């Protein structure tokens, strides 16, 4: 098994802590006046999403997690699981609604995504960073409302809700940041 020594700790590496896979989201090197150097790490559990704060000494090490990322396509939702097609094996694999959470609210069928496997089991999915969707409903703009940065709620074709500028109307296509749910701009066909 591969091992990361404390000197190799950095943001983005995937390690095993207490038999669960974790991704380091932050790592600070601290050198006190005397004694060993310390590494203060913040890690996110890839199975549960919880955060863990740990401090390691310069001689410590952690086992590397065997994480494999594969290209895939979102196929459909079957009322309990989101179903994806693995582009390497062409198998249909499912991930529960609880694990996917809010990240799937802007993803439509046929969208490409990254599938994350640990020990040959699907544990996570990364949707595309931006997606173009059609506005299915929004209130008409108030006449004379020309102030800058005025927004209104809008529903997109996947059922997700975003804030859009007041000049956007039903039927228009917009570009959305899938992680934050922010409106990025109008898209002309």
Homologous superfamily (CATH) for 67-126: Nucleic acid-binding proteins (2.40.50.140)
Where are the CATH 2.30.30.30 domain residues in the chain? 3-64
Bigger pLDDT: 65 vs 97: 65
Fold of 3-64: SH3 type barrels. (2.30.30)
Q: List strands edge to edge, sheet with 121-126.
A: 92-96, 81-86, 67-77, 112-118, 121-126
pLDDT the model gives residue 142: 67
The pTM for the full model equals 0.77
pLDDT the model gives residue 93: 92
Q: If you average pLDDT over every residue of the chain, what do you get?
A: 89
Is pLDDT above 80 for 154?
yes
Is pLDDT above 90 for 7?
no
Where are the CATH 2.40.50.140 domain residues in the chain? 67-126, 130-187
d(CA 165, CA 124): 33
Residue 178: other Cβ atoms inside 10 A:
22
Is pLDDT above 80 for 46?
yes
Are 82 and 113 spatial neighbours (Cβ–Cβ below 8 Å)? no
Fold of 130-187: OB fold (Dihydrolipoamide Acetyltransferase, E2P) (2.40.50)
d(CA 124, CA 46): 7
């Amino acid at each position: 098994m591969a091992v990361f020594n404390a000197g190799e700790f950095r943001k983005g590496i995937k390690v095993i802590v207490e038999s669960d896979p974790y991704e380091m989201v932050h790592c600070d090197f601290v050198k006190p006046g005397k004694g060993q150097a310390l590494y203060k790490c913040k890690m996110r559990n890839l199975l549960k999403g919880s955060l863990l704060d740990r401090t390691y000494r310069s001689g410590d090490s952690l086992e590397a997690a065997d994480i494999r990322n594969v290209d895939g396509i979102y196929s459909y939702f079957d009322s309990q699981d989101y179903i994806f097609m693995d582009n390497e094996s062409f198998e249909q694999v499912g991930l529960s609604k609880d694990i996917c959470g809010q990240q799937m609210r802007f993803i439509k069928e046929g969208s490409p995504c990254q599938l994350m496997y640990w020990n040959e089991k699907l544990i996570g999915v990364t949707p595309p960073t931006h997606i173009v969707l059609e506005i299915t409903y929004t209130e008409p703009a108030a006449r004379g409302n020309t102030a800058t940065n005025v927004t209104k709620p809008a529903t997109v074709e996947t059922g997700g809700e975003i804030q859009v500028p007041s000049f956007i109307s039903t039927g228009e296509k917009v570009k959305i940041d899938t992680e934050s749910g922010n409106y990025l701009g109008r898209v002309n066909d």
